Amino acid sequence: MSEDLDDDRIDFHTRKWVRPEDLNANGTLFGGSLLKWIDEESAIYAIIQLGNPRVVTKFVSEIDFQASARQGDIIEMGIVATRFGRTSLTMRAVVRNMLSQRVILSIERIVYVNLGEDGLPAPHGYTTITHRRDRMPLEAEPRGDAPA
């Protein structure tokens, strides 16, 4: 089971406002903040696609910072699945300035791996993108401090 998807049009769902705490010494958007947002966004996307909260980042390809953003700018992030492997999901990410539509960053391949309860890679069984929430896990993972 290993599918490269033909249709990888990207939808931009998540917006972020560039705040003072997200700036670097140059006064523009700090790359570390942007990468944190993308990792979080791709984790949520992978959970929705694979129906499993136990997913981890395995690989991130070349990161191309094409433009910067300034305090007060609004950016939007788009993630799309490009390949369903046996235990993995590969995604493409694009971030752009919401007003100018200028691309700020693109990453061709972000690979997440689906884990079983034992923490090892486990087959996820999916080959296509869902645009609904039909694979969403119904309950959060049990926590040690939660009442039984």
Interface residue with ligand COA among 88, 93, 94, 106 (CB under 6 A) is 88
Supply the minimum distance, in Å, between the C-beta of residue 72 and ligand COA: 31
Distances (CA, A) of 26 to 1, 7, 33, 68: 46, 38, 14, 10
By C-beta, is 71 or 121 nearer to ligand COA?
A: 121
E-state strands within the chain: 3-4, 12-17, 55-60, 63-65, 74-84, 88-97, 103-114
Element (H, E) at 42: helix 31-50
Q: Which span (53-61, 66-74, 98-106, 127-135) binds ligand COA, by CB under 6 A?
A: 53-61
Q: Verify binding: residue 85, ligand COA, rule CB under 6 A.
A: yes
State the residues that interact with ligand COA by CB under 6 A: 56-59, 85-88, 111, 113, 121
